[in-house]
Structure 1
């Protein structure tokens, strides 16, 4: 991990540990509830692991918090600005693809805004989210293929799609150029 990823891993570890101890949960309880090994949870809390988005979502669910509570900097203001380059990168591929959580709404329902870039050939599969979750995608550059609930659609720059996020879904770039898109996730079942 580089310095930025090290700092993010440590911050996530601190937040996971704080959420667990505040709720008076043991490592074993959280690990079992999240479906991860105790060793993985210890590594996350120590900041020595770079957990996948799926692992972070399972930990957030086991702790009763939304994903932004684990990965975003604390906010003291009602106006929260994230400057270019400051959003945490929560996944990346060897080809250069990435997913950055650029903003979230601190409301009863968790709403997240992501910047995604898929390099040529990148595929990102996602597990089902909480019941009622919706996803919105707006392609800014290139084209992608979105698969959700057994249906597949190809989107070009300027195209948008809305679909249920509570079913297995995937994003792919089968093309020879990078694809850049915004992804909004609204999860009414996740605690804020």
Structure 2
């Protein structure tokens, strides 16, 4: 199933606090592109969300979920029942218990990357893949590669950490960046 098969795509970063009102506000904002009025009561927000998803096939990504309280998940799940058949909810979490709490039909556990694949990913993110042609840039490049490999070894194969640090380094290519890791 591809994302183009969905009429509606929603992305909500949940993080540590599973506040139903905040999650519904973020879902409405994801659908409409506009933040709902903060003074609206939860009942009004729930009705608005139901109307927006009613009969529509949606893909909801709930990112970085930490909540392990089943009752809160069930309250949210009831709100989402009005979507069309084939609607999907994808949850990212760092906790296996959270995955079990959400009545998951499929759990895919991401593993850490080995050293070789960690370096490939880091190179791709930071654009260290290319090789400079003149000798002055070659010395600078080998120095950057050495520093890059030291950083990768400290990231311990965690892809999200590599994307985050690599992205910061890529965005700051023209600036001097000092990254300090405590081991």
| TM > 0.5 fold call | no
Smaller-chain TM-score bracket: under 0.3
Larger helix fraction of residues: 2
TM-score of the pair, normalised by structure 2: 0.25
Q: Larger C-alpha radius of gyration, 1 or 2? A: 2
Larger strand fraction of residues: 1
TM-score of the pair, normalised by structure 1: 0.24
